[in-house]
Every structure is written in structure tokens, then in C-alpha cells.
Amino acid sequence: MRQEAVVSVVEEPSPVLNQESFEELARQAIRIDESLRLEFVNGKMGVKAVPDGDHGRIIAWLSRLCIQANAGWWLYPEQGLRVETYRKGNARPDGSLVPIDAFVGQGEWAVTDDVLMVVEVTSRDSDTNQRDRVDKPRAYAESEIPVYLLIDRELHEVKVHSQPDGQRYEMVATVPFGKSVSLPDPVGMELDTEPLKDWAAG
């Protein structure tokens, strides 16, 4: 397992529309077509890919492990979150690990105050590199979500981002599928990634 300190300088983009307009657009889009699940991260609007069977199996596997670790947790799939500085962005993580009642009373776009970990599983689309590997780590770190778990099916590796400082994650642990990796506090569990070999992309 290698650990690396993350240092980056990112310029602030000019948003193309405000958050209120985006959220209304997202509501209308999903009424037209359920597969139009929009996100608004780093000032850019994007469409989240529809998950395939292996993608869904990974989330089911991880959900079971999280519940075994703590029966009071739940890994909510695709709950919309208000992210980034001043909560000006909107993301739909593949999974949000929270105490089971954390999203009660919240709408389509919830605050991240109680989120312990967000999970993204890469999909076979052209935006994966920029969205999951660049934009979302920054957005989640700005939201001070303690852990960001990226399951990268293209690169056959897992990245565990931790220690957000409000701009970036200071630590990233990377392991290939088949190795174990620690999910740091507040998650505090060991993840054996061997099963991911069966659900990797290509």
C-alpha cells in the first residue's frame, strides 16, 4: 500500500448557473427520463452514468460490510448531497455512509454534516477521469467529508482519501484490487478488496 500527500492548486471556475436553477433543472430532467441524474460539480453540469450490474454488485457488497461493522449505519445509494465550499455544488455519490437516520427530513439534496464516507465506483464513460478522480475529491474535501472511497474499475485499484483540510484530502492510500486497505476513522474498518477482481471493468 502506498500513501501520498496530495498537493494541488486549482483555479476557481465560473459557474454556468446558480444552484437553485440547477436543482430545478435536475428535478425536471428526472421527470422526463429517470436516467437523467444530473450533478453540478466544480461549476460544471454532468449526467451521472446509469450503473451496470457489476457496479450495483459492488455497492451491495460494500453495504453489507458497512452494516456488519456498525448496525447503526446505512450506505445510501445516490442520495443527492450539497457539496463544495458554501455548498454551492450538487453531487450524487454512488454511496453515502451515514448514521441510519441522518437524512430523515431532508429533501433530494442533503447537507453533508453527518456523512462519514462517500463512495464512487467508476463507470465506463468519458467523464470518469475528470469527475471521479479530480473534481469530486476536491468537492468532498471542501465539504469536509472524512473519507472518500474511490473504487476504480478501469485502473483495478482502490483509493482511500482522508484527512480533508477544507480544500483537499491530505492523505491518499492506493492499493490494487486484491490487497487490504484501512478505511480510517470515523469509519474505522479494514477492507479486503479481493472480491473486486470479479467485478472489474474489462
- The pLDDT of residue 9: 40
Number of domains in the chain: 1
- Give me the amino acid identity at 148: Y
Helix (H) or strand (E) holding 57: helix 53-69
| Segments of the chain with pLDDT less than 50 | 5-15
Residues in the chain: 202
Residue-range definition of the domain harbouring residue 70: 2-10+52-199
For 20-63, the DSSP string reads HHHHHHHHHHHHH-TT-EEEEETTEEEEEPPP-HHHHHHHHHHH
pLDDT for the residue numbered 127 = 73
pLDDT at res. 2: 52
Asked if 74 and 64 count as a contact pair (C-beta separation under 8 A), the reply is: no
- Asked whether residue 68 is domain-assigned, the answer is yes
Nearest residue to 115 via CA among 145, 84, 91: 145
Q: Cα–Cα distance between 130 and 133 in angstroms, integer?
A: 6
Q: Looking at the domain assignment, is residue 24 inside a domain?
A: no
Q: Using DSSP, state whether 189 is helix, strand or coil.
A: strand
Residue 15 lies in a domain: no
As a whole number of angstroms, the longest Cα–Cα distance in the chain is 45
**What confidence score (pLDDT) does residue 1 get?**
57
Say if strands 117-121 and 147-152 run parallel, antiparallel, or are unpaired: parallel
Neighbours of 12 (CB within 10 A): 8
Domain contains 149: yes
- Amino acid 20: pLDDT: 79
> What pLDDT is attached to residue 11?
43
Judge contact between 179 and 193, C-beta under 8 A.
yes
This prediction's pTM: 0.84
For 171, phi and psi rounded to 5 degrees?
Answer: -125, 140
Q: Is residue 60 part of a domain?
A: yes
Residue-level pLDDT at 42 = 84
What's the CATH number where 114 sits? Answer: 3.90.1570.10
Compute the distance between CA of residue 51 and CA of residue 120 in angstroms, rounded to an integer.
Answer: 11
- Any domain includes 36: no
44 found inside a domain: no
* Chain segment 49-69, per-residue pLDDT in tens: 777 889 999 999 999 999 999
Which residue's entry shows cell 451491495? 60
Residue 59 belongs to a domain? yes
* Number of CB atoms found within 10 A of residue 201's CB: 16
User: Which pLDDT score is estimated for 13?
Assistant: 46
